[in-house]
Copies of this chain bind each other. A is one copy, B any other.
């Protein structure tokens, strides 16, 4: 019964990566969860909070909090939709200006984390993870 070990290793790996990313984002006053939102908004433009939740597979309450912190920092604005329940979230000019710098830092740390992990292994790992995840959902 080594399923325990599999789960344990996965959990630890996830935590280590999160910690390293947070460390790299610290100089910019950003955290992991905020970066995830910023990254998606930069790629997709304007999204409702529901759409962000669905995309990132996160429940609504933590998303509300993450967005509120980003609003307070001036990196995101909430625009009321035609459907008045919805809030369309988008990056501010300030965030768009700083984005390349952030992405650069993130890419650099990601590259460092993968440096000694062969790209064939990365491919294989990515494939296995996606396959398992899709079965779970």
Interface 9-residue window, one of A69-77, A84-92, A93-101, A106-114: A106-114
Sorting the interface of chain A by its residue count into under 10, 10 to 19, 20 to 34 or 35 or more gives 35 or more
* B114 lies within 8 A of A3 (CB): yes
CB of A9 within 8 A of chain B? yes
Q: Across the interface, which residues of B come within 8 angstroms of A11, CB to CB?
A: 14, 17-18
* From B16, B57, B124, contact of A137 by CB (8 A): B16
* B15 lies within 8 A of A110 (CB): no
Which chain B residue lies CB-closest to A2?
Answer: B126
* A3 lies within 8 A of B111 (CB): yes
Since A4-B39, A4-B110 are in contact, a sample of 7 more A-B pairs with Cβ atoms closer than 8 Å, ordered by chain A residue number, is A3-B110, A3-B122, A6-B114, A10-B13, A13-B14, A16-B137, A17-B136
